[in-house]
Chains A and B, each alone.
Chain A
């Protein structure tokens, strides 16, 4: 295709991506270097019946005028990145010097908002991903043995947890584990503890979120594995059978090796998806117990009276860097594939 034709075909799409993806990233980076204006204080003389005293008051008009004039705020350099709400170099340094063991240092570290969110995100990803892969493979192997007439409806039902809006899917589970909901109330009866609440304890909240993660992601890995199972060559399986392999052995030594590229694919997708875990935290109102980087950004933008653009920007840039690191292996692989095709 000629350069000129290519250009006209791709232009609308490219323009949309440039103005609404590339430029916002620049905008986020610029924002993260600024911080909100401080309120302007003026000295006012307050005269009581006995004496006069000068007090400091917020000058609302001047503050509003300043905000109007420079909406970005004042320049702060990399200050936002290093403050307590983000990378917190100072606090980490103090914690490193003052704690004796590594365990103590870690417990200090996860009190800082950024590391707390990172810690939850990593735990969530590390637990959900293997569960999703094993469960998905298990379901795929089981569904594959079903008679043809039942397969369609089973796949239909299996797709639901993944297709449904994440916020809504998480809400449905949340209502069931509510202290008065079916699962919550039943658990109270089983443990005979009327005050048992899944929402009140940190480990239980984490578990709930992880259960939601497994529930909503398993369908994806099931579908991918199921499609993969259809491509396993029948001859190899038959050859294994003739050589006397048991059913378990032919799964372990024939099917699973065929699935390995899919395992890599699902793991990468899961890493990317779980890194941005966000909606379930909102649905479960779990932000006191578990936060993620995406939740911190959302909270900066929607949480308080003043929108903290600087703080949201800094977290966004750190998140984008995290995604870039996660993506590096994929990019390298795609690059190799591309060069192989050209050669």
Chain B
């Protein structure tokens, strides 16, 4: 940071940029804070026609439950509506999708990074096209065969589909990451008598973790945030959180239990919140990897 006279900002400019940033933070985080706070209130407070400040102080919540905060929404979602089941389903789907994607992706990405042949390039191009396709267009192709083979609705089917959909992205990301690991490392191991796989196993695997973690984060987000695939491919008892929240909306509007949905929404945001908290640097570097280099 230089402190020359030319660098010094005028008071007005500081005031302007600061208020712009504050406004942006308010826009970006406000809706989340509002919803988290409101999820501990009753519906007449969170959706208050008379005065929006009711949601802040919990006027109706105090009247109905005797305290300004209530866990009724969470009780309804987690216990009455058995949202924990969907959480477990999400856990299973996300865990296996990430592990399998990364295993296939590291092998493939390494091969693509070390092969200079033309077909490696064509594979990457095909991956780029696949990656840009809306997932829902593929889903319509799965349904009929899956019905015929009787594998529709199962968690394992969905995991395989998510892994496959995830592959183009994983391959691209890990491929560009492996390009940054010097070729000499594994080649010198091979001169010393290792096979290609041994070189990969003993030389590359120990140094590849930063790239794998970054790629894994994005695989996690893809599997966790997916709606198109899970909503169409899972039977109602195997639903993950996101399609379950969507089907909540249909039913709770009739029974007046919108707060169940609000509580479920807040619950499903918590893992994402911690993800960003702990892996902010990796997410930022992953987002910019494609942009700044290319």
Q: Return the CB mask of A157-185 against B: 1 if under 8 Å, else 0.
A: 11111011111100111011011111001
Residues of A within 8 A of B227 (CB): 165-167, 278-279, 282
At the interface, yes or no: A106 with Cβ under 8 Å from chain B?
no
At the interface, yes or no: A219 with Cβ under 8 Å from chain B?
yes
Residues of A within 8 A of B140 (CB): 28, 31, 297, 300-301, 309, 312-313, 316
Q: Is the CB of B28 within 8 A of A16?
A: no
At the interface, yes or no: B275 with Cβ under 8 Å from chain A?
yes
Q: Is the CB of B142 within 8 A of A14?
A: no
At the interface, yes or no: A203 with Cβ under 8 Å from chain B?
no
Closest to B174 in A: A13
Nearest Cβ in chain A — how far from B52, in angstroms?
5
Q: Is the CB of A156 within 8 A of B138?
A: no
Q: Is the CB of A227 within 8 A of B288?
A: yes
Main secondary structure of the interface of A (DSSP, over half): helix
Query: A13 to B111, alpha carbons, bound, how many Å?
Result: 11
Stretch from A18-26, A109-117, A122-130 that touches the partner = A18-26
At the interface, yes or no: B17 with Cβ under 8 Å from chain A?
yes
Nearest Cβ in chain A — how far from B161, in angstroms?
6
At the interface, yes or no: A9 with Cβ under 8 Å from chain B?
yes
Q: Return the CB mask of B114-156 against A: 1 if under 8 Å, else 0.
A: 1111001101111111101111111111111101100000000
Q: Is the CB of B164 within 8 A of A138?
A: no
Q: Is the CB of B283 within 8 A of A157?
A: no
Selected from A160, A164, A223, the residue in CB contact (under 8 A) with B288 is A223
Selected from B129, B163, B277, the residue in CB contact (under 8 A) with A324 is B129
A17-B167, A165-B268, A338-B121 as given contacts; A173 in contact with B129, CB under 8 Å: no
Interface size on A, residues (CB 8 A): 103
At the interface, yes or no: B208 with Cβ under 8 Å from chain A?
no
Closest to B134 in A: A276
Residues of A within 8 A of B147 (CB): 71
Q: Return the CB mask of A279-296 against B: 1 if under 8 Å, else 0.
A: 100100100000001100
At the interface, yes or no: B191 with Cβ under 8 Å from chain A?
no
Residues of A within 8 A of B18 (CB): 146
At the interface, yes or no: B276 with Cβ under 8 Å from chain A?
yes
Residues of B within 8 A of A28 (CB): 137-138, 140-141
At the interface, yes or no: A206 with Cβ under 8 Å from chain B?
no
Q: Is the CB of B52 within 8 A of A182?
A: yes
A164-B269, A176-B31, A262-B291 as given contacts; A302 in contact with B232, CB under 8 Å: yes
Q: Is the CB of B280 within 8 A of A301?
A: no
Q: Is the CB of A158 within 8 A of B24?
A: yes
Q: Is the CB of A334 within 8 A of B288?
A: no
At the interface, yes or no: A88 with Cβ under 8 Å from chain B?
no
Nearest Cβ in chain A — how far from B254, in angstroms?
14
Q: Is the CB of B142 within 8 A of A24?
A: yes
Query: A310 to B30, alpha carbons, bound, how many Å?
Result: 44
A247-262 interface (Cβ within 8 A of B)? 247, 262
Residues of A within 8 A of B246 (CB): 167, 282
Residues of A within 8 A of B138 (CB): 20-21, 24-25, 28, 316
Query: A214 to B29, alpha carbons, bound, how many Å?
Result: 14
Interface size on B, residues (CB 8 A): 104
Q: Is the CB of A323 within 8 A of B21?
A: no
Residues of A within 8 A of B292 (CB): 224, 227-228, 231, 262
Q: Is the CB of B130 within 8 A of A17?
A: yes
Selected from B47, B144, B272, the residue in CB contact (under 8 A) with A27 is B144
Nearest Cβ in chain A — how far from B240, in angstroms?
11
Q: Return the CB mask of A123-142 against B: 1 if under 8 Å, else 0.
A: 00000000000000011011
Query: A99 to B110, alpha carbons, bound, how many Å?
Result: 59
Q: Is the CB of A156 within 8 A of B141?
A: no
B154-168 interface (Cβ within 8 A of A)? 160-161, 163-165, 167-168
Residues of A within 8 A of B125 (CB): 331, 334-335
Q: Is the CB of A316 within 8 A of B141?
A: yes
Residues of B within 8 A of A23 (CB): 141
At the interface, yes or no: A120 with Cβ under 8 Å from chain B?
no
Query: A179 to B127, alpha carbons, bound, how many Å?
Result: 44
Selected from A9, A178, A278, the residue in CB contact (under 8 A) with B110 is A9
Nearest Cβ in chain A — how far from B29, in angstroms?
5
Q: Is the CB of A223 within 8 A of B132?
A: no
Task: Mark A residues whose CB is within 8 Å of B.
Answer: 1-3, 5-6, 9-10, 12-14, 16-17, 19-21, 23-28, 31, 71-72, 138-139, 141-143, 145-146, 152, 154-161, 163-168, 171-173, 175-176, 178-182, 185-186, 215, 219-220, 223-224, 227-228, 231, 241, 247, 262, 265-266, 272, 275-276, 278-279, 282, 285, 293-294, 297-298, 300-302, 307, 309, 312-313, 316-317, 319-320, 323-324, 326-327, 330-331, 334-335, 338, 342
The 21 sampled A-B contact pairs (Cβ below 8 Å) are A10-B112, A24-B142, A28-B141, A139-B24, A142-B17, A159-B280, A164-B32, A165-B227, A168-B245, A179-B49, A181-B46, A182-B55, A186-B52, A219-B28, A224-B292, A227-B288, A294-B137, A319-B133, A323-B134, A327-B128, A334-B124
Task: Mark B residues whose CB is within 8 Å of A.
Answer: 6, 9, 13-14, 17-18, 20-21, 24-25, 27-29, 31-32, 34-35, 46-49, 52, 55, 103-105, 107-108, 110-112, 114-117, 120-121, 123-130, 132-145, 147-148, 160-161, 163-165, 167-168, 170-171, 196-197, 200, 221, 224-225, 227-228, 231-232, 242, 245-246, 249, 258, 261-262, 265, 268-269, 272-273, 275-277, 280, 283-284, 287-288, 290-292, 294
